[in-house]
Amino acid sequence: MQGADATIHAWSMDLSGPLSTGAHSLFVHSCVGRNFVLGGASAAVNALVLTGAELQQITADILRLTATGNITVLVVTAAQSQHVTRVSLDSAETVEFLQSTDFTSLDATSKQTMVVNATIVTNGGDLDLTSSAGGIDFGRQVNLLCAGAVVVSSPGLALVTAPAQWRAASGVNIVSQARVLGSGVFSISADTDSDGVGSLSIAGLIVTSSAVTGLTFRAADYAILSTVQATAADLSLDASGKPASTFKLGSVPRLLATA
């Protein structure tokens, strides 16, 4: 199979040789109600499983995995995902990231609340996490490390458990209402390559644990769209470090509350 969009609809799959759609997309659907597991080493799970080794056999521009059940993501290394420009996950229930992953770029959409319990790296592009009807829960010491832009979007709350670091080269957009739990520091760097492109947009963020000691934000620009309440934490806003950049305060639409 080479050079065209392709669709696989499967109850189970066992990929032992290369599968290439070249610059085109590969769509894999699980059967109705069947859960999907991406990554890890074992296919011995009662689900449609694409192991890390099988992922490494796939070459595609977009690899889109859809399930009417849950999608569980286990360990994926950069080598295993290197031939796929973008992995796209879409679950009618939940998407759970249980082990650390490293993709070129990634988008994940769940209908119910998404669970992110391990660090996600995108080494070549964007990271988009969306829950269409629930929230997004980030576990303790879960980092987002992104070569492009990070977008976190949900109608329900985004629960961030400090300590945590979100680092992106070209912007961080938190469309969800965020709550910061846990302890220690939650830091966001939205322009890690310090080229002046990388804004931090926050739709609302409230620290709800008195053990959170700091919010440390660095960005080329800020869009604070609603209340940021640091509670007992120190709030630090910094420019991104682009040479000759200046930090101007005074056009922030609402008050930054630290009490």
Residues that bind Ca ion (CB under 5 A): 169-170, 191, 193, 195, 197-198
| H helix intervals, 78-165 | 78-81
Instruction: State the amino acid at position 109 in one-letter form.
Output: T
Residue number with CB closer to Ca ion (109 or 173)? 173
Q: From the CB of 241, what's the least distance to Ca ion, in Å?
A: 10
Whether the CA torsion 124, 126, 132, 137 is positive or negative: it is positive
How many other C-beta atoms are found inside a 10 Å radius of the C-beta of residue 251? 7
Q: From the CB of 141, what's the least distance to Ca ion, in Å?
A: 25
Residue number with CB closer to Ca ion (194 or 227)? 194
Residue number with CB closer to Ca ion (54 or 191)? 191
Residue number with CB closer to Ca ion (66 or 245)? 245
Residue 240 dihedral angles phi and psi, to the nearest 5°: -85, -5
Q: From the CB of 162, what's the least distance to Ca ion, in Å?
A: 24
Q: From the CB of 168, what's the least distance to Ca ion, in Å?
A: 8
How many other C-beta atoms are found inside a 10 Å radius of the C-beta of residue 183? 13
Residue number with CB closer to Ca ion (10 or 223)? 223
Residue of 180, 185, 141, 190 lying closest to 157 (CA atoms): 180
How many other C-beta atoms are found inside a 10 Å radius of the C-beta of residue 163? 17
Q: From the CB of 225, what's the least distance to Ca ion, in Å?
A: 21
